[in-house]
Chain A
């Protein structure tokens, strides 16, 4: 099975959710750990870039995918694609995690061109504050096994 986390770039909220799931991050990590994640804040102008983050459990691969601002539209299209190419729908799970970064922060994305270091730090700090919410989402969606 493949689990794909979706956000506008595939390298911010989705990257954190994916790394939290595979165990590269935990709830006690700090914003610097988030900032130092491989690919954090990269490929921001290339929606469609997908990244393999790791394995979770037996045979489950975890990916991130950048979808621009149309994650919900892509979820519909992807599940329809799965049907038409005759693949078991259970083999693909898509989760939109765009909501963990508010719109005003995305609008500040212009800062990424001028002060990329500052913008990435800002997002890393924001996502640090959202870690427990993301972890709850993973547990409530029953993606993450509760010990």
Chain B
């Protein structure tokens, strides 16, 4: 199964959730700023990267984990991508789109805007890191639900 975590810019919330899912971050331990900054694509994507689907890793069940950005398309992003899969005759049950926006707090929004849209990383990055740390357990909870509900569909844990 291909699991695609998506958020506005594909830089913070989706990266954090995808990295928890792929085992790059421990589930129940809030990461340090250095750990967050060492994640692939964390606070790195710019406008021209938006829309690209990036591979993050595989989970214990062999599912492939990706991140993507969708701007303000909201849940329409999933509808549109599923329509394209349908046009290609690809089975929709092999695709899973996870919206991480409901777990994004105001610090992440403000810090992400300053860092990514305005390029003021010196101010934006510490704010978005603090916001990510505050919401971390929510992302962890989301990933747990996804793993429990859908992850095992690929294959049973060895």
Chain A positions within 8 Å of B, measured between CB atoms, are: 2, 4, 46-50, 61, 63, 65-68, 70, 72-78, 80-82, 84-85, 87, 91-92
Contacts and interface: CB of A to CB of B under 8 A. Distances in A.
Given A70-B71, A76-B52, A81-B53, A65 B80 contact: yes
Interface string B92-115: 001100000000000000000000
A40 B87 CA distance: 21
Interface residues of B, number: 30
Contacts of A85: 2, 85, 88, 90, 94-95
A48 B76 contact: yes
Contact of B90 (A4, A50, A87): A87
Interface stretch (B13-21, B23-31, B61-69, B130-138): B61-69
B86 A50 contact: yes
A49 B53 contact: no
B89 to A, nearest CB: 9
Contacts of B90: 85, 87
8 contacts: A67-B73, A68-B72, A70-B73, A77-B52, A80-B51, A84-B55, A85-B95, A87-B90
Contacts of B147: none
Given A70-B71, A73-B70, A84 B2 contact: yes
A11 to B, nearest CB: 14
A50 B87 contact: yes
Given A47-B76, A50-B87, A63-B87, A72 B81 contact: no
B50 interface: yes
B82 interface: yes
A91 to B, nearest CB: 7
A50 B70 CA distance: 18
A47 B73 contact: yes
Contacts of B95: 85
B81 A77 contact: yes
B88 A84 contact: no
Contacts of A48: 76, 78-80, 82-83
A76 B87 CA distance: 16
Contacts of B88: 2, 82, 85, 87, 91-92
B157 to A, nearest CB: 24
B84 interface: yes
Given A73-B51, A87-B90, A78 B69 contact: no
Contacts of B50: 73, 76
A70 B55 CA distance: 22
A4 B51 contact: no
A50 B76 CA distance: 12
B51 to A, nearest CB: 3
Contact of A72 (B51, B73, B85, B86): B51
